[in-house]
């Protein structure tokens, strides 16, 4: 059987599968599940084209990793065949642990278990199935491999994950400002003392990358309508969990029911739980929303209708923390108008924070390599003042409350 297949990708054109192991991993049911996990969660409420999946994204990352290895080898960086294959595996599977609607579920379906932790569990399970051929990839994914530039390519300030999702999300949302030139960025990469650097002539591409990342976060990923839609989805599942714990019967798929009935933490994730998690995807959630909109519970039905009909809560962004008095006024109004409890009213009135830091120099620097051999962080190398500003976190506060009628 020919395993060197070709994908036709709308971003990069034709993408080739580099080896038989990658083909077999793509064919595996765990990876095929990513076709049913939306890349951008609830962002389609704002940008109607944002329906692409984690499957798209992972394949794109492998393509960029192929280009990067080719460039680095051309520049004299030694990368063995085993390391090459491990890099492909690590970047292919880096998002395999995402739950339905991506980030929205990390605090609803499971109890503070990140998608990276679940990705690692899937990788370890696959490593058993594939006769330990993922061992090196797991070391790179965990960031413990001694050649640090490889870990940086999978998870770092200029990793293949960001290089793909900025370009891909920009394409599917139609937000042109996020469209980075990932090919040029990759061409400018090099390695010094096993750490990733960007050659001096690539400095403007890095500036564009950081600016694009800031723009995409505030304009797309942290768009206020997307935020309120995601918060409503989280509250739907919180309410469903509450009702199930009180003995209320809900029409629900078995995998989703399992995670709502049980408080699953990282230590609970054995093979059986992992297999149930694999069965969870966006369709479980959408199906539940369609069913629960007709439920007799006031809170659950209203929340579901809000999402399905895009009749969302009002959201206001502020520079300062929301006053408790403002929240209480909205809560009192709901209690009086709908004869519900304060506890129930809080599902429709709440506040929170969003923050973004386009460049985080303390975790992993983006280092510029000058022709003289000198290496300097981008914030010092760049003559753009705003690059320094973008390395500081920005926090905004929001309040959500109903429009005129629930």
Q: What is the pLDDT of residues 110-151, one digit of tens each?
A: 888 999 999 999 999 999 999 999 999 999 999 999 999 999
CA distance 380 to 207: 12
CA distance 90 to 77: 19
Across the range 62-80, mean pLDDT stands at 98
Residue 403 has phi, psi (to 5 degrees) of -75, -145
Going by pLDDT thresholds of 50, 70 and 90, the confidence category of residue 2 is: confident
Q: Quick one: pLDDT at residue 106?
A: 76
Q: Which two tokens stand for residue 234?
A: 């989280």
Across the range 82-88, mean pLDDT stands at 98
Cβ count near 399 (within 10 Å) = 20
**SS3 label, residue 374:** coil
**SS3 label, residue 13:** strand
CA distance 118 to 97: 5
Spell out the residues 6+ positions from residue 155 whose beta carbon is closer than 8 angstroms to its own. 94, 141, 143, 161
Pairing between β-strand 367-369 and β-strand 195-199 as defined by DSSP bridges:
parallel
Res 158 pLDDT > 80: yes
Q: Is the pTM of this model over 0.75?
A: yes
Q: Quick one: pLDDT at residue 112?
A: 84
CA distances from 234 to 101, 126, 311, 353 (A): 10, 30, 16, 15
Query: Quick check: 288 and 253 in contact, CB under 8 A?
Result: yes
CA distance 187 to 191: 12
Q: Quick one: pLDDT at residue 383?
A: 82
pLDDT tens across 340-367, in order?
A: 999 999 999 999 999 988 888 766 789 9
**SS3 label, residue 357:** coil
Judged by average pLDDT, the poorest of 29-38, 281-290, 380-389 is: 380-389
Q: Which two tokens stand for residue 268?
A: 């609970």
Spell out the residues 6+ positions from residue 338 whose beta carbon is closer than 8 angstroms to its own. 298, 345, 406
Q: Which two tokens stand for residue 333?
A: 């109004």
Q: Quick one: pLDDT at residue 361?
A: 76
Q: Quick one: pLDDT at residue 385?
A: 65
Residue 23's closest CA among 4, 49, 39, 44?
4
Residue percentage of the chain with pLDDT more than 90: 88
Going by pLDDT thresholds of 50, 70 and 90, the confidence category of residue 382 is: confident
**What DSSP state is assigned to residue 80?**
-
Q: Quick one: pLDDT at residue 1?
A: 62
Across the range 182-203, mean pLDDT stands at 96
Q: Which two tokens stand for residue 386?
A: 């705003």
Across the range 79-104, mean pLDDT stands at 94
Cβ count near 360 (within 10 Å) = 14
**SS3 label, residue 354:** strand
Q: What sections of 267-323 are H helices per DSSP?
A: 271-278, 282-292, 298-308
Res 15 pLDDT > 70: yes
Res 154 pLDDT > 80: yes
Across the range 212-239, mean pLDDT stands at 95
CA distance 382 to 132: 44
Judged by average pLDDT, the poorest of 112-126, 146-160, 238-252, 380-394 is: 380-394
């Amino acid at each position: 059987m020919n395993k060197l297949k070709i994908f036709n990708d709308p971003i990069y054109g034709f993408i080739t599968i580099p080896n038989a192991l990658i083909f077999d991993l793509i064919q595996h049911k765990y990876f095929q599940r990513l076709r049913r996990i939306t890349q951008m969660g609830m962002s389609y409420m704002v940008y109607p084209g944002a329906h692409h999946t984690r499957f798209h994204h992972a394949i794109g990352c492998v393509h960029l990793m192929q280009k990067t290895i080719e460039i680095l080898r051309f520049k004299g960086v030694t990368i063995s065949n085993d390391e090459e294959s491990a890099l492909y595996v690590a970047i292919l599977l880096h998002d395999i642990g995402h739950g339905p609607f991506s980030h929205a579920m990390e605090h609803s379906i499971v109890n503070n278990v990140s998608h990276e932790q679940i990705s690692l569990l899937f990788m370890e399970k696959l490593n058993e199935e594939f006769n330990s051929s993922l061992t090196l990839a797991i070391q790179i994914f965990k960031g413990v491999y001694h050649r640090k530039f490889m870990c940086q390519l999978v998870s770092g300030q200029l990793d293949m994950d960001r290089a793909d999702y900025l370009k891909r999300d920009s394409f599917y949302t139609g937000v042109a400002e996020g469209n980075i030139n990932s090919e040029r960025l990759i061409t400018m990469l090099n390695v010094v003392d096993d750490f990733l650097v960007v050659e001096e002539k690539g400095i403007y591409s890095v500036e564009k990358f950081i600016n694009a990342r800031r723009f995409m976060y505030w304009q797309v990923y942290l768009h206020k309508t997307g935020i309120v839609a995601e918060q409503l989805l989280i509250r739907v599942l919180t309410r469903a969990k509450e009702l199930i714990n009180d003995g209320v019967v809900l029409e629900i798929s078995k995998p989703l029911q399992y995670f709502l009935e049980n408080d699953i933490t990282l230590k609970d994730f054995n093979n059986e739980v992992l297999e149930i998690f694999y069965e969870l995807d966006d369709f479980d959630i959408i199906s539940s929303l369609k069913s629960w909109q007709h439920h007799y519970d006031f809170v659950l039905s209203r929340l579901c209708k809000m999402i399905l009909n895009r009749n969302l809560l009002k959201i206001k962004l502020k520079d300062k923390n929301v006053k408790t008095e403002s929240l209480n006024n909205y809560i009192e109004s709901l209690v009086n108008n709908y004869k519900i409890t304060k506890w129930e009213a809080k599902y429709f009135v709440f506040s929170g924070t969003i923050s973004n830091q386009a460049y985080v120099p303390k975790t992993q620097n983006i280092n510029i390599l000058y022709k003289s051999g000198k290496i300097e962080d981008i914030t010092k190398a760049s003559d753009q003042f705003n690059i320094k500003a973008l390395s500081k976190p920005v926090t905004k506060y929001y309040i959500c409350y109903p429009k005129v009628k629930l």
